[in-house]
Amino acid sequence: MEFCGESYDQISEQRSRRNLSQEKQTPKILKFKGENDLNIYIEWEQKVDQIFTIHVVSDQKQVDLVVLEFEDYAMTW
């Protein structure tokens, strides 16, 4: 089966390469200082989750990246 002159296998291979490329990139995570405002935390978590979804980041790498961006009070959690 072909789509726009490319076979299904070619398209699948391109997607796989793109996913591998995205996994190798380290996304920029927003800093979090750990203020006592729950709404600020939820907003930060949603933004970070979107970044991880776009970049297809594994669970373990998500934890590692997030911990690096904790500052001030958040570092004591």
**What mean pLDDT is predicted for residues 34-59?**
90
For the entire predicted model, the pTM comes to 0.60
**What mean pLDDT is predicted for residues 58-67?**
91
Alpha helices in the chain (DSSP H): 8-24, 38-55, 59-68
Domain enclosing residue 58, as ranges: 2-76
- Class of residue 72 by CB neighbours under 10 A (exposed 0-12, middle 13-18, buried 19+): exposed
Q: What is the reported pLDDT for 77?
A: 66
CA 48 – CA 30 distance, rounded (Å): 7
Of residues 29 and 26, more confidently modeled: 29
**What mean pLDDT is predicted for residues 51-71?**
90
Total number of domains constituting the chain = 1
Q: Is the pLDDT of residue 50 over 90?
A: yes
